[in-house]
Amino acid sequence: MNDLKSVKAFIFDLDGTLIDSVDAHIRSWIIALNYLGIKDVDEEDLRPLIGLSGKDIMTKLFGPNIMSKFPRIRWLKDRAFLRELREGRITLYPGVMKLLQLLKRLGLRVAVASSTPNYMLIHILDFLGIAQYVDVFTCGDEVVRGKPNPEIFIRTMKKLHLRPRDVVIVGDTVYDVKPANEINSISVLVNNPDQNMSPKPRYYFRWIYEFIDFIRNEFLK
């Protein structure tokens, strides 16, 4: 089992992990779909899929040809999401800023691996004031296979020049836990009420701010 003492970096998922944005994503997809005349998708359909890439979400809902049938759907969704951001409906989870500052003080590297496209991710990190704490990020448009395939995490580790065993992967869904376990990184689940998730994470915290004291105890012994 991996030893936390060997950890050199933390890789965070973005949506639902660092930022409270799941509801905003759901609203944005519904707005985009309604604009295109698709009215039969609701919150219950979308919520279990948030964390996958936009292409994979639409494919699971409508089949493999949806993106070619409606090529503007991603643009419409992203435009709606940016409006949510500008209007203050997307925020950092409590404790995130404090956690990132602590990791940097401890000399640990911080990365973000998100299904969010590059041009969106950069803007979000900057707008919410956490870009300065992120050493490396990998976006959904940099990989062929989205989560739960581990490709996005493996690519991030290559940028960090680290082995999976030296990295903690923090996320809020099984789409983060499953690939972390597969590549033998330390998996941490936060902001999710499901303590019985399968596969199970190495560590579970109901809210990400609860992770702060754990980090202090482990790295400041």
CA distance 218 to 13: 21
pLDDT tens digits, 167-216: 999 999 999 999 999 999 999 999 999 988 999 999 999 999 999 999 99
Cα separation of 165 and 183, whole Å?
Answer: 8
pLDDT of 123 above 70: yes
pLDDT attached to residue 2: 60
Q: With 60 as the cut, is the pLDDT of residue 61 above it?
A: yes
Query: The tokens of 56 are what?
Result: 């994979």
DSSP-derived pairing of the beta strands 91-92 and 19-20: antiparallel
Return the axis-axis angle of helices 211-219 and 96-105, rounded to nearest 10°: 10
The count of C-alpha atoms lying within 13 angstroms of the C-alpha of 195, restricted to the half-sphere facing its C-beta, is 4
Provide the whole-model pTM.
0.94
Determine the average pLDDT of the residues in 17-29: 97
